[in-house]
Structure 1
């Protein structure tokens, strides 16, 4: 498909499928968008990592007409030499925003600008109150949990057991955090389920994802979803076609050895390559299919259903369920960035946040 100009209302209209269920709720020419979270009160938040761009507001509240307000404030959004001695008080390279069912907004910061290596002392999970803009809790990750080449990717919050579950895509692992003690553990770091599938070349819009040396992209554990009853954690490597799950009770059991924990991993089934997962009350697993420019869902019976297919879905990235049941998705166009095009960024449509009212 021909690439669209960077930003054009006419292009946006032309690119929309005539019967597309997708509604654009925000769009940005730049910087690059990777994640969206909708709080129970309806407030919408977006995440702009420090990859190819240097966003002024890495975490922002999204207002009418795609306006952005720094979140929780301008100081947290600042990262330069003047604040480098305060890595736990600033967004270094945030990757995920997640709204829990109690209305709190969590931000995961792997602290690895340009995906190169972590800023020592910078990886953290931060709990905030979107109603007041207050930072309530900052959980730092030691280097044993977030090594120099790690990249903490996404998070889900289990309010029933007071735990957080994370994927780490840089080296491949899951991370669990006891929100009572604030202690974290790195798990399944040598298990195949957290690793990119060997020999697989993922594509988007037919474009093979090759690094500057011509090597296929190797993205490890990435997509993550917590079942509604908090019993199972679902996850998948981005470079992969397999969905896995594990009982959260096993992840919380510090007495299990790595081998014993590995035996608890279940292969759910084959799925298209996916960056983001979410799950509904009926245990349908929603899949962002960047290879097909589509939003899919896998039923408990294993059937893959198409929720939306639209040329504007240029690398659909992460989901967020709103309290009203609408599903939001962020569009990151990762395959258009310079990193995957021999150093030259490609023409693209705006980065968008879509909303979809799900069929019953």
Structure 2
């Protein structure tokens, strides 16, 4: 996922494509994907994807769907988007409705953050079909975290009932920490902190939570490599300051053996999941087990399948890529509309959903110039069974 560019000391956000509250959203059937050869091969064929949401008003950087096909979109309060309701559910007639409604979607500066969305960075649906929302709790005016605002919220996707809210103190979220994304493996929840760099592990059965590898250099980005968008566009604000996003993406293999993580500029790294769960290890000992998998281009969103194929949105080339377990990079999908395609979501029926927030066109990433080009789209395309003879798997929903 990436990663809003409007905060100098906080993590950026990522994901999706919306329509204004008064309007509807184009929602059609799912179309065919553009398949292609290996990265080194010729340009892949341009095959059409389906636009599942189109918005003239709100960009968004998060998308997820239930098993019955109900789509949810997450919209952060980035520049020019301060009035967004933050989370939407796409209705059967294609319109967007704020979810779950009421105070959750109506937060204003100075209001109570307890039961309201402030800065939604991501959302996800796992095998139990409930919706998890990542709220970074950042006030877009003060650009600081509001006390009690940073939280994870679990909803019943049908009724909108709040099932639980998770908040932590400074032992887990010290000043400057910013939750970015999460994955669930059985009773365990894994969360990345892109504000300082770190991994949070929460045991949903016991209620215990630990913070690991906090501010470790292998989880932090540096200015030696810029974030790059389409056509060599280097993300920077009007003063030339570039965004710096620490541990962001995370994926866990279907057998739970490996925990993959990365900053948006790479490299992709991994460590045994067992190292995160072994309380006898120190962080220094855990760090010794970290492996560098591969250097990567600027990535916005990722996913993984049951055959350990690692999918990522290549912001530099406007492509969705597959990194195979054998470390071969294959072009899965290419489309001129993929301007910073963000968080990837594989549905139960093997559709790939990708939101397009146009992150690099925001003023804070475009030398102060607002170059956003509505409408904002979310695309869908089906995963083939094979790509260049390499088998592709199914969704890893709850591991």
CA shift digits 1:10-67 (9 cap, x unpaired) = xxxxxx9983242211111222201001112211101001121124420111235652
User: Which residue is 1:62 aligned to?
Assistant: 90
Q: How does 1:242-253 map to 2 (within 5 A)?
A: 242-253=267-278
Equivalent of 2:377 in 345, 352, 356? 352
Counterparts of 2:85 and 2:342, CA distance in 1: 19
Other structure's SS at 2:144 match: coil
Other structure's SS at 2:102 match: coil
Equivalent of 2:73 in 19, 23, 46? 46
User: Which residue is 2:104 aligned to?
Assistant: 76
Equivalent of 1:241 in 262, 266, 280? 266
Retained in 1: the 8 A contact 2:46–2:335?
no
State the Cα distance separating 1:358 from its structure 2 match: 1.3
* TM-score (norm. length: structure 1): 0.89
User: Which residue is 2:131 aligned to?
Assistant: 105
Runs of 4+ aligned residues of structure 1 deviating over 6 Å after TM superposition are: none
Say how many residue pairs are matched.
341
Retained in 1: the 8 A contact 2:237–2:368?
no
Equivalent of 1:223 in 244, 249, 270? 249
State the Cα distance separating 1:148 from its structure 2 match: 3.2
Is 1:287 the counterpart of 2:312 in the alignment?
A: yes
User: Which residue is 1:299 aligned to?
Assistant: 324
Between 56-65 and 214-223, the greater mean CA deviation after superposition? 56-65
User: Which residue is 2:258 aligned to?
Assistant: 232
Other structure's SS at 1:250 match: helix
User: Which residue is 1:122 aligned to?
Assistant: 149
Is 1:135 the counterpart of 2:162 in the alignment?
A: yes
Between 42-51 and 196-205, the greater mean CA deviation after superposition? 196-205
State the Cα distance separating 1:254 from its structure 2 match: 3.0
CA shift digits 1:288-343 (9 cap, x unpaired) = 11111110010000000001111100101101111101111111111111112233
Other structure's SS at 1:335 match: helix
The two structures, once aligned, show a CA RMSD in angstroms of 2.1
Retained in 2: the 8 A contact 1:225–1:279?
yes
CA shift digits 1:125-157 (9 cap, x unpaired) = 111121332111111021232233222111111
Counterparts of 1:124 and 1:347, CA distance in 2: 29
Equivalent of 2:219 in 194, 197, 200? 194
User: Which residue is 2:362 aligned to?
Assistant: 337
Higher relative contact order (CA 8 A, sep 6+): 2
Counterparts of 1:113 and 1:246, CA distance in 2: 34
CA shift digits 1:173-198 (9 cap, x unpaired) = 22211212333322212323311144
Is 1:95 the counterpart of 2:143 in the alignment?
A: no
Retained in 2: the 8 A contact 1:39–1:99?
yes
* TM-score (norm. length: structure 2): 0.80
User: Which residue is 2:348 aligned to?
Assistant: 323
Unaligned runs of 5+ in 1: 1-6, 8-15
User: Which residue is 1:268 aligned to?
Assistant: 293
Counterparts of 1:66 and 1:334, CA distance in 2: 25
Cα distance change on mapping 1:174 and 1:254 into 2, 3 Å? same
Retained in 1: the 8 A contact 2:109–2:139?
no
Other structure's SS at 1:275 match: strand
Counterparts of 1:138 and 1:92, CA distance in 2: 14
CA shift digits 1:98-121 (9 cap, x unpaired) = 001111111111111339221112
User: Which residue is 1:165 aligned to?
Assistant: 190
Cα distance change on mapping 1:254 and 1:329 into 2, 3 Å? same
Counterparts of 2:196 and 2:279, CA distance in 1: 21
User: Which residue is 2:54 aligned to?
Assistant: 27
Cα distance change on mapping 1:212 and 1:168 into 2, 3 Å? farther
State the Cα distance separating 1:232 from its structure 2 match: 2.0
Other structure's SS at 2:226 match: coil
Counterparts of 1:95 and 1:227, CA distance in 2: 23
State the Cα distance separating 1:81 from its structure 2 match: 5.2
User: Which residue is 1:182 aligned to?
Assistant: 207
